[in-house]
Amino acid sequence: MVKENPSFSIGIEEEYLLVDRETGDLAEAPEALMEACKADLDEQVSPEFLQCQIEIGTNVCADVGQAREDLIRLRSAVARHAADHGLAPIAAACHPFSDWKEQHHTDKDRYNDLRRDLGGVARRLLICGMHVHVGIPDQEDRIDVMNQLSYFLPHLLALSASSPFWQGEDTGLASYRLTVFDNLPRTGLPPQLWSWAEFQRSVDAIVDLGLIEDASKIWWDLRPSAKFPTIEARICDVSPKVETALTIAALVQCLARFLWRMKGRNQRWRIYDNFLISENRWMAQRYGATRGLIDFGQREIIPVAHLVEELIDLLAEDAEALGCTAELEGARDIILGGTSAERQRRVFTDAVEADLSRDEALREVVRSLIAEFHEGL
């Protein structure tokens, strides 16, 4: 039997927060809003764990160009229906000033079960991420690519970081979201797996004990999807700007194709212990793109701006084949303009220097996030 070559199809899931357009406060999604979104988008939109959240997912897309059209359509529809209720969506991984203790979870079986299983940890999940799926039909190829792609997860996090504030405080981190999510079980970097059978045995070991229903409750930074023949990168903060989201998606897609191609040449990316990759993960979480990541071969910290240039060169052939060269090169724009975490801090600092109160400065941050969500729609 001839093995099918991957299409490297792509799918994007995003989680948004709903806020009052005037005050910037979090707002629970009215039932009429969800009904309008469902009528427009059908199964591509759903409520999330908290009532102030909403989740969208693109269709399976052949390339980033198709993903662009679908993501813009989805974001536009959510924004339009939210506006009918005096609300607006923001695509930031944490709300700058709202208190998680004041939020309520969505009353659905899935979320009631999560609340029961995770206890108080679940209550703090006032966070939003972005997940990128890439189609790889062969199970063994999925595991092989996943093992190698883990090295690049900190690079993706550094560029996507959008959660510097938590409950009205500057956390000093670029991605505070991960500190919250890492409190859940079965999170963090994926283990090195050497076959699909090994992955399945590991999942079955805890499914058979009734601890989880299936692999969808494994929340690693990168995993084989429980529903689709894809790998799913889950480490990224959600991106306020649609262009940033598409650049991140292009990076994931190109990396998957590049690493798969290496196997055909009897080569592979060096596998590093998770202890070392975790250090880069922490540096990305702490500093975003403002410092650097460790190059374990050179044994030095390389600025993220330099790493971006290396990635663009490394993935140029794959980007051309996949038709996403412009989106891949958009990583330079993230460096030049700053990550969302950097931009949010600039808005806050500028507002304070303009003699606004701390409270009003944080509301200015939310207003900037509303504006960025609508860019390009």
What's the total number of domains in the chain? 1
Query: What is the residue-level pLDDT of the chain in tens, covering all 377 positions?
Result: 556 789 999 999 999 999 999 999 999 889 999 999 999 999 999 887 778 899 999 999 999 999 999 999 999 999 999 999 999 999 999 999 998 877 777 767 677 777 777 777 777 889 999 999 999 999 999 999 999 999 999 999 999 999 999 999 999 999 999 999 999 999 999 999 989 999 999 999 999 999 988 888 999 999 998 889 999 999 999 999 999 999 999 999 999 999 999 988 889 999 999 999 999 999 999 999 999 999 998 999 999 999 999 999 999 999 999 999 999 999 999 999 999 999 999 999 999 999 999 999 999 999 999 999 999 98
**Per-residue burial over 355-369, b = 16 or more CB atoms within 10 Å of its CB, e = otherwise:** eeeeeebbbbbbbbb
| Domain harbouring 318, CATH code | 3.30.590.20
- Structural domain boundaries, residue 353: 10-374
Asked if residue 4 belongs to a domain, the reply is no
Sign (positive or negative) of CA dihedral 278, 284, 290, 292: positive
Asked if residue 1 belongs to a domain, the reply is no
Burial zone of 313 (CB within 10 Å; 0-12 exposed, 13-18 middle, 19+ buried): exposed
Tracing tokens 């998680």 back to the chain, one arrives at: 100
CB contact at 8 A, 93 and 175: yes
Asked if residue 349 belongs to a domain, the reply is yes
> H or E element: which one contains 181?
helix 177-181
Residue among 10, 327, 320 at smallest CA distance from 159:
327
Asked if residue 201 belongs to a domain, the reply is yes
Report how far residue 367's alpha carbon sits from residue 332's, in angstroms, rounded to the nearest whole number.
Answer: 25
Asked if residue 165 belongs to a domain, the reply is yes
Torsion-angle region of 301 (φ positive above 0: left; ψ -120 to 50: alpha; else: beta): beta
Report how far residue 255's alpha carbon sits from residue 257's, in angstroms, rounded to the nearest whole number.
Answer: 5
| The token pair that represents 21 in the structure block | 């357009």
| The token pair that represents 41 in the structure block | 């988008």
Sign (positive or negative) of CA dihedral 46, 49, 53, 58: negative
Asked if residue 2 belongs to a domain, the reply is no
Asked if residue 3 belongs to a domain, the reply is no
